[in-house]
């Protein structure tokens, strides 16, 4: 019989199980040389050979550990690896099919439901926010103070001049002061409220004119007991600060 060629074709390698036989050292010298000549230049066969050698090594290791029936690791025929690999591939294929089915179920059934629930939750949250805003607005409106006492201050340095008199009802929570600001260089102002005996009651700073060119200031009535008060208007900025006017008021309660 003539000498075998030194080059093998893929069909021949597959039909004669050359890769498995080579890994198990069952090829004749001529066949081994021919296959080596082939897989050195064939990446596909080289990778198959490495996978087969790893599998056989794993089987042998499992046999050495007593995890396989005796004899499988050393004397099993070349087709043994197929008996192991085919169930493994079948399991892998089943897992892939199951995963694809699960992904399809999630995409076509679960995702629309979750998207709908998310939209509903967002709508509910938006409705709650609107209801809360409306309730806060209603509460704020109900708490708006009506008939706030107002006094328009007139500057004076004459102690004989009668002070502005203000009557604070029992329900009044604030007193509104209206101060006409003299023309000048100042942008910011402060108001200092003292009792007649020079005890500080309230100080408001960084005040600015309103659209009418005046200062409108709200004072809490709890700091204003019945009696006389002196109010001083000072220009703050730009410095230096300067006293612009003094005012007097008298607080009465019914």
CATH number of the domain that residue 207 is part of: 2.60.40.1930
Say if residue 140 is in the same domain as residue 165. no
Say if residue 164 is in the same domain as residue 232. yes
**pLDDT interval class at 2 (50, 70, 90):** very low
> How large is the average pLDDT for residues 166-183?
83
The range of the structural domain enclosing residue 67 comes to 10-78
Tell me whether residue 81 is exposed, middle or buried, using C-beta atoms within 10 angstroms of its C-beta: 0 to 12, 13 to 18, 19 or more.
buried
Query: What pLDDT, on a 0 to 100 scale, did the predictor assign at position 142?
Result: 43
Say if residue 139 is in the same domain as residue 169. no
184 CB-near residues (< 8 Å, 6+ apart): 235, 244
Q: Which residue has the higher pLDDT, 178 or 127?
A: 178
Q: Which residues pair with 192 in a beta bridge?
A: 203, 232
Say if residue 154 is in the same domain as residue 248. yes
**pLDDT interval class at 189 (50, 70, 90):** very high
Query: What pLDDT, on a 0 to 100 scale, did the predictor assign at position 215?
Result: 87
Q: Where are the alpha helices (DSSP H) in the chain?
A: 10-15, 18-23, 29-39, 43-64, 72-75, 80-105, 111-142
- Number of separate domains in the chain: 3
Please check whether residue 3 lies inside any domain of the structure.
Answer: no
- Pick from 22, 50, 78: which residue ends a domain? 78
> How large is the average pLDDT for residues 108-132?
69
Say if residue 157 is in the same domain as residue 138. no
pLDDT at 111 over 90: no
CA distance 252 to 246: 20
Please check whether residue 224 lies inside any domain of the structure.
Answer: yes
Using CA atoms of 63, 66, 70, 71 in order, give the dihedral in degrees to the nearest 10.
10
Please check whether residue 5 lies inside any domain of the structure.
Answer: no
- Cis preceding-peptide flag for 43 (omega within 30 of 0): no
CB of 200 closer than 8 Å to CB of 211: no
Query: What pLDDT, on a 0 to 100 scale, did the predictor assign at position 190?
Result: 92
Q: Is the dihedral of CA 192, 196, 197, 202 positive or negative?
A: negative
Say if residue 136 is in the same domain as residue 155. no
Query: What pLDDT, on a 0 to 100 scale, did the predictor assign at position 77?
Result: 47
């Amino acid at each position: 019989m003539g000498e075998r060629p030194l080059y093998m074709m893929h069909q021949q390698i597959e039909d004669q199980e050359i890769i498995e036989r080579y890994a198990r050292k069952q090829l004749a010298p001529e066949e081994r040389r021919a296959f080596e000549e082939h897989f050195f230049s064939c990446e596909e066969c080289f990778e198959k050979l490495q996978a087969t050698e790893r599998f056989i090594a794993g089987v042998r290791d499992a046999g050495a550990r007593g995890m396989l029936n005796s004899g499988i690791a050393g004397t099993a025929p070349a087709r043994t690896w197929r008996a192991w690999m085919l169930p493994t591939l079948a399991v892998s294929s089943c897992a892939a099919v199951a995963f694809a089915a699960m992904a399809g179920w999630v995409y076509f059934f679960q995702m629309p439901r979750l998207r709908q629930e998310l939209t509903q939750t967002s709508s509910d949250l938006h409705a709650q926010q609107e209801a809360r805003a409306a309730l806060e607005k209603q509460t704020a409106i109900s708490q708006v103070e009506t008939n706030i006492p107002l006094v328009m201050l007139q500057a004076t340095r004459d102690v004989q001049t009668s002070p502005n008199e203000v009557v604070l009802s029992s329900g009044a929570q604030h007193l509104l002061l209206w101060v006409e600001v003299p023309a000048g260089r100042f942008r910011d102002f402060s108001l200092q409220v003292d009792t007649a005996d020079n005890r500080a009651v309230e100080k408001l700073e960084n005040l600015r004119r309103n659209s009418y060119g005046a200062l409108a200031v709200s004072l809490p009535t709890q700091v204003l007991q019945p009696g006389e008060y002196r109010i001083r208007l000072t220009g703050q900025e730009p410095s230096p600060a300067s006293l612009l006017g003094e005012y007097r008021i008298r607080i009465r309660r019914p």
